Amino acid sequence: MSSDGPIIDYGPSAPHGPDVTGHHAPLEDPLFDMNKNEEDMFRTVLKPDDSFDENGVYWADLPILKRINFVNKVNNEEAKKEARATWEMFKNDPLSPVAYYFRNMVLPGAGLGLEGYVLFSIGNLKPLFQKGFPECWSTHQICNKTWLNAVEYLEICGIIVGQILVGIIGDWIGRRWGLIQDAAIMFVGLIMLVASWGVTQNGWVICYTWSLFFYGIGVGGEYPMTATSGMENAVGSGKVSTKDDRLHRGRKVTSAFLMQGWGQFFNQVLLILLLLIFHHGSGNAPYSALAVQYTFRVSFAIPAVGTLWLVYYRTYKVKGGANKQLRIAKKKSSVTGYDTESLKITCRHFGGRLLATAGTWYMNDVFFYGNKLFQSEFIKVITPHSTSIMPGWLYNLVNVGVSLCGYYLASFLIDHKLYGRKHMQSIGFLMDFILFIIPAFNFEYYTSREHIKSFQTMYFLSSFFNQFGPNSVTFLAAAEVYPTAVRATAHGFSAAVGKLGALTASILYNYIDTQTKFYVVPWFGLAGLVLNVVFMPDTTGLDLKEQERRWAFIRSGREEDYHGIAIHPKHLSLWERIRGVGKHYDPDLDYKQRIEEMRAEWESRMQEKIDEKAGRLDADDFDDEEFHEHLQSYFQRSTRRATLQGPFRHTNGNGNELTEKITPSDDSNATSDDSITGTNGRH
């Protein structure tokens, strides 16, 4: 069979690898002896050099010093490659790096940016309402206090409904539909907020509350949809994952998630500007009802325009590729609707992981709301007689800026194999515990005017470590540690439990005084640390397709037959290791197994071609020489494509966009027009 015949794409691989003697094969010679170097080629395909050393040893199996050297070498080479690519882009077009960032980070996280804008505006608007409508929001003379409290409660309830409902829809109908639905719900919810009214102020509060509930459903859906679609877009179309998935998957998802921080930032900036505009250039009280009305309604109208554009973009620009990995998973399991069987197996096999992702998210949200305690307390000390809301808004703006620093640092280090997700979350929980426990037992000391600067420092540091830790990691891990078939459902469930933590905090804080709050909050951080250490697996550096391969064994009832790196002790939780989950890990046996799987896949595809074009023949009619020819052809294509690896592979040395055709392998719905580059953050 000619090498121009049918080609199976098993995914990108590293540019080189050693043969059985430890020497590198002469890649520049395309006519080298296949039989002699077949082992080298398999290792190149199955053991990429960003995860395996020159001897084919997995990075997590290396001794500690060699592991550190290997990881640093890979990271340094990747950083240099990205720096060179960025510089080439800049030389060709100074604005092209900005355009790249917008396409691959801003657009995937646009929904979270818009929901962050509106979601956190509720807390910012409350003091403005209290100043502009004191008889309703402050003294409760003309408004029902229960409905005023319900503003926050129903908003959180709407988010919980959306997280669970849209998570299920995302696994049932598809990621793309979930994304479109979220944007549409948020747009309608914003229209309701802008137009909210009532015959009385209490009637307006009720209308405002239910509008927030409806909007919250869309907000909740953004969590599982953004996490799963952003994560799966980093995965290649072949049997082996891409280098982008292995080295930058966490960064892709975190970069989308941090748009929530930018949403908070722009909301606070616009509220300050709008109040100055409608209050005649002054931010000081008293505020007229008209100024308050215009400020809050225009502040909701602005994101409504952006959300309408998001509906259009997701409807007409996000194509079916957003559902590719889900289609592959359903095809393998012969499922057309919702995969209830996978959900049952996930609950049975990954109960500890559910406890980890949901439990740590719950603890983090209590902490996240606890951070607001710092702000209100030190503002009281700094401006004890102020009636203006501006000091609070300005300090919140600074706080959001510090939080953004935490978001960005998390995106840079979350894929680092020597630090990664689990260590980042543990340190974040520990630091927040310390930063709360210190003022809890020295409350009067730190809230005095003489020591308020120390209190402010702890406040900003708690914000930083919350983002550079549990707030970023919970969003990523809740999707990453589960199989594709139920990924959105599991993420939605974990996020919903997290919002129960926010609900717990908002209710609890109404019944205890400020110092008691400081006594209570730190222990949630300590509990989050314990849950993370015991139950959370560390998936840093582990590609999603290897996890899917393990899942195929689990779903078919052959868990003990899987021997790959997904059950390496490094990638298992303490709880899973205690239970003996990793006892079948055997890299040599797994390597042989993957070679057999690779050949079986090839024979299966060849048989399909025969059935379609040449009648009923037997794939065994193809001999070893023909398989070798296929492997050589694939190997040459893999080495040619190696230069396109990584997050900047969409440009060449001149900054021009590169596109290379990929022959579909395990996605029957894919077409030969699928390419490495594309829209919607897909590479």
What is each CA distance from 532 to 90, 364, 424, 441, 469, in whole angstroms? 41, 11, 10, 26, 11
Q: Which two tokens stand for residue 551?
A: 């899942």
Contact in structure between 215 and 304 (CB atoms under 8 Å): no
Using alpha carbons, select from 202, 207, 220, 237 the residue that is nearest to residue 158.
220
Q: What is the DSSP letter of 102?
A: I
Region 178-184: mean pLDDT is 93
Q: Is residue 542 pLDDT above 70, yes or no? A: yes
The fraction of the chain above a pLDDT of 90, given in percent, is 55
Residue type, 61: D
DSSP-derived secondary structure for 469-507: IIIHHHHHHHHHTS-GGGHHHHHHHHHHHHHHHHHHHHH
Specify the 3-state DSSP secondary structure of 448.
Answer: coil
Q: Is residue 45 pLDDT above 90, yes or no? A: no
Rounded CA separation 602/592 (Å): 16
| pLDDT for the residue 2 | 39
- Other CB atoms within 10 Å distance of the CB of residue 457: 12
**CB contact set of 56 (below 8 Å; sequence gap of 6+):** 17, 18, 43, 47, 591
The angle at the Cα of 62, spanning 590 to 353, to the nearest 5 degrees, equals 65
Q: Which two tokens stand for residue 437?
A: 């426990």
Query: Of residues 348 and 678, which shows the higher confidence score?
Result: 348
Q: For residue range 230-253, what is the model confidence (pLDDT) as tens digits?
A: 888 766 544 556 788 889 999 999
The angle at the Cα of 107, spanning 222 to 485, to the nearest 5 degrees, equals 45
Residue type, 545: K
| pLDDT for the residue 633 | 61
- Reported as a pLDDT band with limits 50, 70 and 90, residue 19 is very low
Q: Is residue 504 pLDDT above 60, yes or no? A: yes
Long-range contacts of 98-104 (CB under 8 A, 24+ apart): 100/648, 100/650, 103/679, 103/681, 104/252, 104/255, 104/647, 104/681
Q: For residue range 505-518, what is the model confidence (pLDDT) as tens digits?
A: 888 887 888 888 88
| SS3 readout for 210-227 | HHHHHHHHHHHHHHHHHH
Q: Is residue 412 pLDDT above 80, yes or no? A: yes
Of 15-19, 321-325, 601-605, 616-620, least confident by mean pLDDT is: 15-19
DSSP-derived secondary structure for 389-424: SHHHHHHHHHHHHHHHHHHHHHHHHTT-TTSHHHHH
Using alpha carbons, select from 292, 153, 138 the residue that is nearest to residue 210.
153
Rounded CA separation 456/644 (Å): 47
Contact in structure between 633 and 3 (CB atoms under 8 Å): yes
Rounded CA separation 66/53 (Å): 9
Of 292-306, 509-523, 615-629, least confident by mean pLDDT is: 615-629
Strand (E) or helix (H) holding 673: none
Region 639-643: mean pLDDT is 45
Contact in structure between 553 and 474 (CB atoms under 8 Å): no
Give the chain's mean pLDDT: 82
- For residue 651, the cross-strand partners are 657
Rounded CA separation 174/117 (Å): 26
| pLDDT for the residue 44 | 76
- Reported as a pLDDT band with limits 50, 70 and 90, residue 8 is very low
- Reported as a pLDDT band with limits 50, 70 and 90, residue 603 is confident
Contact in structure between 498 and 473 (CB atoms under 8 Å): no
Region 606-611: mean pLDDT is 73
Rounded CA separation 208/198 (Å): 9
Contact in structure between 264 and 117 (CB atoms under 8 Å): yes
Rounded CA separation 323/221 (Å): 16
Specify the 3-state DSSP secondary structure of 596.
Answer: helix
- For residue 661, the cross-strand partners are 675
Q: Which two tokens stand for residue 361?
A: 């998210």
| pLDDT for the residue 373 | 63
Residue type, 318: V
Rounded CA separation 10/239 (Å): 4
Radius of gyration (Cα) for the chain, nearest Å?
27
Contact in structure between 269 and 303 (CB atoms under 8 Å): no
Rounded CA separation 24/17 (Å): 6
Q: Is residue 665 pLDDT above 60, yes or no? A: no
| pLDDT for the residue 482 | 94
The fraction of the chain above a pLDDT of 70, given in percent, is 81
**Residue whose entry in the numeric block shows the structure tokens 């209050």:** 279
Tally of helices (H runs) and strands (E runs) in the chain = 26, 0
Q: For residue range 209-229, what is the model confidence (pLDDT) as tens digits?
A: 999 999 999 999 999 999 898
Give me the half-sphere count of Cα atoms (radius 13 Å) on the Cβ side of residue 373: 30
Of 6-10, 102-106, 308-312, 467-471, least confident by mean pLDDT is: 6-10
Q: Is residue 636 pLDDT above 70, yes or no? A: no
Q: Is residue 403 pLDDT above 90, yes or no? A: yes
| pLDDT for the residue 236 | 52
Rounded CA separation 566/345 (Å): 17
| pLDDT for the residue 509 | 81
Across 559-602, the runs of DSSP E, i.e. the strands, are none
Specify the 3-state DSSP secondary structure of 614.
Answer: coil
Of 283-287, 418-422, 517-521, 581-585, least confident by mean pLDDT is: 283-287
| pLDDT for the residue 599 | 81
Q: Is the overall model pTM greater than 0.75, yes or no?
A: yes
Terminal CA-to-CA distance of the chain, rounded, Å? 32
DSSP-derived secondary structure for 351-396: HHHHHHHHHHHHHHHHHHHHHHHHHHHHHHHHSTT---SHHHHHHH
Contact in structure between 476 and 487 (CB atoms under 8 Å): no
What is the set of domains in the chain, with CATH numbers?
114-249+259-338+652-683 (1.20.1250.20), 351-536 (1.20.1250.20)
Rounded CA separation 591/598 (Å): 11
Rounded CA separation 613/601 (Å): 19
Rounded CA separation 113/119 (Å): 10
Q: Is residue 82 pLDDT above 90, yes or no? A: yes
Q: Is residue 414 pLDDT above 60, yes or no? A: yes
